[in-house]
Structure 1
Amino acid sequence: MSKVRVFIVEDDFIHANRLEMYLEEMGYELAGLVANAEEAINLIAATKPDLLLVDIHLEGNRDGVQMVEQLNKKNPIPAIFITSFRDKETFDRAKLTDPYAYIIKPYDKDMLQAAIELAVYKFSKTSKHLDTIHTQTDYQGWNEDQLVNDTMYVKSNGSLVKIKLSDILCVEAKDKICQIGLIKESIDTRISLQKLEEQLISDRFLRVHRSFIINKEAISQVNLSESKVSVGQYAVPIGRSYKASFLNSLGQLPD
């Protein structure tokens, strides 16, 4: 599990500090903070952030919209535009870059958090269909990197966290939360098991009980007499109605 890394491009000192403070309070990692588009383009390529917070009206030869337009040509990264202007022309220009969210000053922490969550949600919807709408020779920038890096995002303790799918051993539904068991830790997220199962699009994951999903690649032992499967440090029960499909997935026929 790692923090979502956010890069800020803001030339107003007060707003830049406020954004940095909000990100820290929400549990995100600051990947970089610059005041102009030229410097941002170079540092974004080097730091590879997960998300951009971009003020539209920046000092220098390029504004925020032009900067995002240039990034989109080579290596698109989800961008949230921030502006103090409400004119239609500015909004229409920003809209053409397909931003993931758009917030207007003055904003508060809740507004920023909602925009970040919306951006990640929109990305997750897009990335699920990349393999059906693009060829392997097309480079899809940030979206493709996320698929290669095998990651997903969940909300835990008020902020989004980034999880490698290969680190997930099992998921257990507990009341109104799901507990995700990772190799080194576990985290709780307020999402239904069904919704989380929809996000685990890799064929490595399998439902073995009404309350459990496991990572098949992490199986170390199957105890048929006790109807349990060991994945890392977790002993997961195998539900009666799931047993046949589970054993078939392993190439074994049920008793």
Structure 2
Amino acid sequence: MPKYSVLIVEDERIVAMDLQQMLTALGYDAYAIASSATEAFARASEKRPDVVLMDIRIKGQMDGIRTAAVLREKFDVPIVYLTAHADDATIARAKKTAPHGYLLKPVKSTEMKSAIEVSIYRNEMEKELRTREALFRDTLASIADGIVTLDARAHIVQMNAAAENLTGWSHTEARGKSLELLLCPKSDGGRHPAALGTELPDLVEAVLADGLTRHGESGEGPTGRSFGYSVTALADPVGRVVGAVLHLHDITERRQSDSEIRVLHAHLAELAKTDELTGVANHRAFKERLKQIVAEGERGRAFALALCDLDDFKGINDDLGHRAGDQALVGVARALKNNVRETDFVARYGGDEFCILFTDVTEEVAVALTERLRRSVALIREPISVTASFGLCGYSKSFHGDASAFLDAVDAALYRSKHAGRNRVELSRDEQADSSQGLD
């Protein structure tokens, strides 16, 4: 067993010597006796004791209680009071110095040993607890996320520096206040509220009730920042919920990244359905739209489909080159796009063919709309004058929802348009021509 050192502060010399002999017999190092506060401070400075036996009533301007308070503050040593006076007022004063023991004179050897051992053990545990608390505070201070500790009433016990910065409230201002304080605006000194969301108190209340962790996110606050949070229960050794920990983190950049990713995905999705050369919808997008509109046609929606094929496109490529051919395709796509209604759909079907879906129209109206498109194409002069032939068909339930059969009927009309002189619009007939031949 280590030999603990004991400082005796007792102004009655005989009593002090008796205590010293008793302590020595118990195996302690009773290295010094002091009869006043000044002498006690000097002896404690010479050798910091493991425990101080302090008579409450000693000579001098400072009594034992005031002397003990200074010793505790300067040397962090445990105090065991000795007194023959046990009145309530004296005990009340002594309690304020957080003593580790209280012995009434005359002191018995067994009581002395117990008081010293317990006081030294308690002091060591308190030092360890303070060390852990300091480590915990330092850890909280170093965490970039906000940490708020709450008691069982959802009142704020502790906040780290990050939580102060996020919420705008200092630990001193918030301690002991209701959690709802953090929902209130605070912009002193350039700080701004976290805008945590009004549902947070309900989440905390639920966690305190059942001990289950919950998560949430705030909307965008007045500064454009958004926050995520989790609430975790704190339990005592027997499992009773005695509080909660609120973990706050700024999710603004994550939300911005998510938003940018969504925009990128939308852009990629758009690119996947857009013809790179002409900027109108591509074949894939057309097939998806055709399938959708045919299903709507089976439910009674009126629509028509036109196929457009450039006249003698091969000659443009052969005479002027493929770059000129590409320019012609871009010009035709622009003419078609600029001369349809907002509700209509233009796509590049492939090669020099385009398709146009007219929604909510009769065949008669669709013919007029297609004639307008034919004329707009015929006005193109760069890089060369071009014309186009059109095949057109209005959807009817006779196709029985078969998109391929409907498309074949439009293609047959286009074939007739090419062989009837080109630069014209042909409406589909009941009989279908052989469209397997080339349409240049």
Give TM-score scaled by structure 2 length.
0.30
| 1:72 positional shift | 2.5
Alignment of 1:74 with 2:74, yes or no, is: yes
1:82 is paired with a residue whose SS is strand
Query: Pairwise mapping of residues 1-255 of structure 1 onto structure 2 (< 5 A)?
Result: 2-134=2-134
Partner of 1:225: none
Deviation (angstroms), 1:137: 11
- Cα distance, 1:121 vs. partner? 2.3
2-side partners of 1:123 and 1:49: how far apart?
12
Q: What secondary structure does 1:103 align onto? A: strand
Which AA in structure 1 matches 2:103? I
Note the C-alpha offset of 1:37: 0.9
Asked which structure has the greater RCO (Cα within 8 Å, sep 6+), the reply is: 1
Cα distance in 2 between the residues matched to 1:136 and 1:29? 36
Distance (whole Å) between structure 2 residues aligned to residue 14 and residue 55 of structure 1? 13
SS at 2:81 equivalent: strand
Aligned equivalents of 1:71, 1:23: Cα separation in 2? 21
Q: CA deviation at 1:70?
A: 1.5
Question: Contact 2:50–2:120 (CA<8 Å) still a contact in 1?
Answer: no
Deviation per CA, 1:209-232, whole angstroms, max 9, x where unpaired? xxxxxxxxxxxxxxxxxxxxxxxx
1:135 deviates by 5.6
Q: Secondary structure at 2:106's aligned position in 1?
A: coil
The change in CA–CA distance for 1:17 and 1:39 in structure 2 (over 3 A counts) is same
2:184 aligned partner: none
Per the alignment, in what secondary structure is the counterpart of residue 45 of structure 1?
Answer: helix
CA contact (8 A) 2:20 2:30 kept: yes
- Range moving further from structure 2, 70-79 or 46-55: 70-79
Counterpart residue type for residue 56 of structure 1: I
Q: Which has the higher strand share?
A: 1
- String of CA shifts for 1:164-221, please: whole Å, max 9, x gaps: xxxxxxxxxxxxxxxxxxxxxxxxxxxxxxxxxxxxxxxxxxxxxxxxxxxxxxxxxx
Identical aligned residues as a percent: 31
Cα–Cα, structure 1 residues 111 and 97, in superposed 2: closer, same or farther, change >3 Å? same
Structure 2 residue runs without a partner (length 5+): 139-440
Question: Whole-Å Cα distance in 2 between the matches of residues 128 and 137 of structure 1?
Answer: 14
- After superposition, the C-alpha distances for 1:45-76 in whole angstroms (9 at most, x for unaligned) are 12111110010000111111101111233222
Moved more, 119-128 or 21-30: 119-128
Whole-angstrom distance in 2 between the partners of 1:27 and 1:73: 27
Matched residue pairs, number? 138
Gap change, CA 1:70 and 1:127, over 3 Å in 2: closer
Q: TM-score, normalised by structure 1?
A: 0.51
Secondary structure of the residue that 1:128 maps to in structure 2? helix
RMSD, matched Cα: 2.1
The runs of 5 or more residues in structure 1 that have no matched partner are 139-255
Q: Which of the pair has more CA radius of gyration?
A: 2
Q: Give the superposition deviation at 1:30.
A: 1.5
